[in-house]
Amino acid sequence: YQPKYRLRQRRVSGAEALLRWKHPERGMVAPEEFIPVLEETGLIVPVSEWVIKRACHDVRAWRSAGFNVPVSVNLSARQFRLPALHERIKALVASSGVDPKLIELEITESQLMQDPHHAILVMRALCDAGMRIAIDDFGTGYSSLAYLTRFPIDALKIDRSFVQDMVRDKTIVRTIVEMAHTLGYTVIAEGVETEEQATLLHRLRCEQAQGYLFAQPMAADNIERLCADGPR
């Protein structure tokens, strides 16, 4: 899990579930190596459902320790096209006993634009089931603003490429933040690595951020310790 932080208070506001493969011979294998293979073979569907189950398990454990930590899980392109996807996810979350509001589903902008009409139906069903929706890598998928106003979205995640360039030019990040707030969305910045970036994002009224400045991906037990430690 990589923690998300509220920029103003520097407190943990949630976490994103990230997948890594600890191979017995090759060691730690990065997702860019094995995710495409999972997508091609269709194994991404059972693996993604396992991730949701595990995330719900950890959310429940954190809740037992006294911490409400929302977790975001990425939906793959193949998974997003499944018939009755919302029913499958709803059943997984319900069986865990976790409040659906603590589960946020991240969908990339490019996925949404492959079939916007289908995407709207799926997202509305997931929202009706109580879960939150975030658009991942926003700004890279060339989405139509006409569709953006119709998607039932809770948050936009600014792609790390814009965050890396914002010290030189803040225009794109400022525009995304202002547009998101006008539409009533929360804004989360990805790939924050320097204090200068964090300060600029806070001045632009970006609410949350994640990146190596705050914390690297970590095991579930460490998330609990971060919450207990208080502000960073």
Averaged pLDDT, 9-37: 93
Does residue 142 have a pLDDT over 80? no
- Find, among 105, 102, 114, the residue nearest to 86 by Cα: 105
- Examine the pLDDT at 145 and tell me if it is beyond 80: no
**Of how many residues is the chain composed?**
232
The widest CA-to-CA distance across the chain, in whole angstroms, is 50
pLDDT value at residue 83: 84
pLDDT of amino acid 150: 85
35 contacts 44 by C-beta, under 8 angstroms: yes
Q: What is the pTM of this model?
A: 0.91
Q: What mean pLDDT is predicted for residues 121-128?
A: 93
pLDDT above 80 (res 210): yes
- Residue 107: strand, helix, or coil: strand
